[in-house]
Amino acid sequence: MQFSSEVENMFTQDEIEEILKDEQQFYIEYAERKWLDRYFKIKAVANETQVPSIVSSISDMPHGSSNFKKSKTEMYALKTIQASEWLEILYSALQALSPIEQELIELKYMRRRNGGSLYSDEVIYPQLYVGKTRYYEIKKEALEILGRNLYGVFAERGFS
């Protein structure tokens, strides 16, 4: 009990709020840069059905050797599986959000206009029946929660 009161006296309320604000911004940027900005590319890899050219190679090197070349087919299959797993993780993390937060993230980051561009905030918030200020509050909160839920997931699962 004494330790916590000593810690509370180490920082002012303004310092604590600044630390929390920086932490929140970290998770927001993490969700956007590491997950949502990569969504369409990863989705394309997961949905690709093109089979690479099949070329067999013969080697006298053991399979575990660093000089052993993996087959193109094997590498292609692994990329497709990893992309599918990545999408499953993202979709699972989205389920932890409230319905309005889910819809906001899907409209803003996971759907494109006919020309291929993303929808602007000004187009989305009327669709959610919220005002501009409330929209940005929801967006900020949704991105933070998403970032927290996704942070470190690959390290825990052994993905790179």
> Is 2 part of any domain?
no
Residue 116's pLDDT is 86
Q: How far is Cα 57 from Cα 124, in angstroms, rounded to an integer?
A: 52
> Is 18 part of any domain?
yes
With 60 as the cut, is the pLDDT of residue 67 above it?
A: no
Domain with 152, as residue range(s), is: 14-50+69-157
User: 4-53, pLDDT tens digit by residue?
Assistant: 556 566 767 666 666 666 788 899 999 999 999 999 999 998 887 655 55
With 90 as the cut, is the pLDDT of residue 108 above it?
A: yes
> Is 131 part of any domain?
yes
Residue 70's pLDDT is 63
Cβ proximity of 138 and 106 under 8 Å: no
Encoded tokens for 95: 């389920």
Which amino acid is residue 77, in one-letter code? A
Cβ proximity of 39 and 107 under 8 Å: no
Of 158 and 22, the structure prediction assigns the larger pLDDT to: 22
Encoded tokens for 38: 């990569």
Question: What's the pTM?
Answer: 0.71
> Is 61 part of any domain?
no
> Is 4 part of any domain?
no
User: 119-128, pLDDT tens digit by residue?
Assistant: 999 999 999 9
Residue 63's pLDDT is 59
* Tally of domains in the chain: 1
Residue 118: strand pairing partners: 112
| Look-up of token digits 């291929």 | 116
User: 114-154, pLDDT tens digit by residue?
Assistant: 988 999 999 999 999 999 999 999 999 999 999 999 997 76
